[in-house]
Amino acid sequence: MATIFTRIVQGEIPCYKIAEDDNFLAFLDINPLQEGHTLVIPKKEVNYIFDIEDDLHAGLWNFAKKVAKALEKVIPCQRIGVTVIGLEVPHAHIHLIPLKTMFDMDFKRSKLTFTPEEFKSIADRIAKLV
């Protein structure tokens, strides 16, 4: 069965899109730890990030870098934190999280909520700079 992220890639499930090209997609995490918490995925469905073939794997990180550079211009932060977990969704993804302190990346913290309009506004502001 297709992962939830493949269904997002195929447009079956909506997302707040930040950037995409032929191989990669970046969109806002629906349960963000911080404003601008973004997921960057390969469109190709691969469960574990270190099983991605080399060129696509390098491309994923280069794409994430471009998104992170836009993110740090839009969301006030010290820098963009990066993590890879993948225990919930079996489709490789990189979390990009704007950080003011290291505790901003603590996944045990309660998640933020935004209205659809707020999510869209955040995504649009970042998307313009990618």
Contacts to ligand 5GP by CB under 6 A = 4, 13, 15, 27-31, 39, 85-89
Cβ(122)–Cβ(35) below 8 Å: yes
Burial class of residue 80, CB neighbours in 10 A (0-12, 13-18, 19+): buried
Q: 3-state class of 82 per DSSP?
A: strand
Least separation, in Å, of the C-beta of 63 and ligand 5GP?
Answer: 17
Query: Between residues 2 and 13, which has the closer beta carbon with respect to ligand 5GP?
Result: 13
Query: Between residues 55 and 126, which has the closer beta carbon with respect to ligand 5GP?
Result: 126
Catalytic residue among 37, 57, 91, 93: 93
Least separation, in Å, of the C-beta of 111 and ligand 5GP?
Answer: 7
Least separation, in Å, of the C-beta of 39 and ligand 5GP?
Answer: 6
Cα dihedral 80→84→86→90 (10° resolution): 100
**93 part of the active site:** yes
Put residue 2 in one of left, alpha, beta given phi > 0 → left and psi -120 to 50 → alpha.
beta
Query: Between residues 89 and 130, which has the closer beta carbon with respect to ligand 5GP?
Result: 89
Catalytic positions are: 93
